[in-house]
Amino acid sequence: MENNIVIDVKDLKIRYRSLNKISVRKSLLSLRKSKIDIYEAVRGITFQVPKGEIMGIVGKNGSGKSTLLRAIAGVFSPDEGEINLHGNSVSLLSIGVGFQKRLTGRENIYLSGMLLGFSEEAINQKLDEIIEFSELGNFIDKPVRTYSSGMYSKLAFSITAILETEIILIDEVLSVGDSKFKKKSYKKMQQLITNEDRTVIIVSHNNDTLNKLCNSILWLHEGKIKMQGKPKEVLEAYEEFMS
């Protein structure tokens, strides 16, 4: 049983010090350090995600969902507590992944793939599949700045969905593209569910989606876990709470 846990979050706390950008003038004037404003976005969270699980995270705006995802992705380290991914590779997918706008879609696939830690050969193998899935056609060899916002997100989704990282973190992205592409990405997500090796965490405000896709739901409220359990129960309680 122990071996099946892929994400292990223990007593996680993340604080934002208000490290605002300051100007040179200001920093010269206030040589003594001014009082630092500390905002704790995630206030002590403990949970585990077993392998192959699709977990949804709900919560109102500012409850720390995105912060939590970024912490799991390793973008910033926890101020307290720990996150153990047991050596699994992880990718964070959210609206507008960092593409170089002047480069073509194809080159951006390579760049993103390499950022996620894949070798050039691994990307070569998956390249056709990604291009096909993204439905971009000839646009794949045009600069990304010429893309529509839908095409942009489709490409981002395809890269993460096809390049197989063991853990996929999805931040509000399932509603990209037209209805046809939406259906397709649902399908892909469901396919990921059946793939026992893949663990997915989805942040979304769309309760229907979560209900259909997830095995379990985590409800965050002001940086703490309010409820965790089966999608139906948690979502019902959450809906009642929000109304």
Partner 1 sequence: MKRFINDFKKHYKYSIYSAKSELKSEIANSHLSWLWWILDPLLFMLVYTFISVIVFRTSEPYFPVFVFIGLSSWKFFEKTVKQSVKLVSANSAIVSKVYLPKHILIFVKMYANGFKMAVSYVLVAIMMAIYRVPLSLNIVYIIPIFVTLIMFTFGVSTIMLHFGVFVEDLSNVINVLLKLVFYMSGIFYSISNRVKEPYGSILLNFNPVALFLNDLRLSMIYCEAPHRKLLLMWFLVSCAMSAIGIRIIYKYENSYVKVM
Part in contact with partner 1 (CB under 8 A); list of ranges 48-56, 111-119, 199-207, 208-216: 111-119
Q: Which residue has the tokens 């056609």?
A: 137
C-alpha span between 57 and 217 (Å, rounded): 6
Contact between 62 and partner 1 per CB under 8 A: no
Q: Which residue number, 61 or 179, has a Cβ lying nearer to partner 1?
A: 61
Q: Residue 212, Cα to own-chain centre: how many angstroms?
A: 18
Of 36, 102, 138, 243, the residue at the interface with partner 1 (CB under 8 A) is 102
φ/ψ (deg, to 5) at 116: -80, 0
Site string for partner 1, 14-53 (x = CB under 8 A): --xx-xxxxxxx-x--------------------------
Dihedral over Cα of 168, 170, 176, 179: its sign: positive
Instruction: Kindly state the smallest distance separating residue 240's Cβ from partner 1, in Å.
Output: 34
Q: Total number of residues binding partner 1 (CB under 8 A)?
A: 36
- Contacts of residue 237, Cβ cutoff 8 Å, sequence gap at least 6: 219, 227
Contact (CB, 8 A) for 73 and 149? no
Judged by CB under 8 A, the chain residues 200 through 239 that form the site for partner 1 are: none
Return left, alpha or beta for 80; rule: phi > 0 is left, psi -120 to 50 is alpha, else beta.
Answer: beta
Contact between 193 and partner 1 per CB under 8 A: no
Contacts with partner 1 by CB under 8 A lie at 16-17, 19-25, 27, 70, 73-77, 91-92, 94, 96-100, 102-103, 107, 110-111, 114-117, 119-120, 143
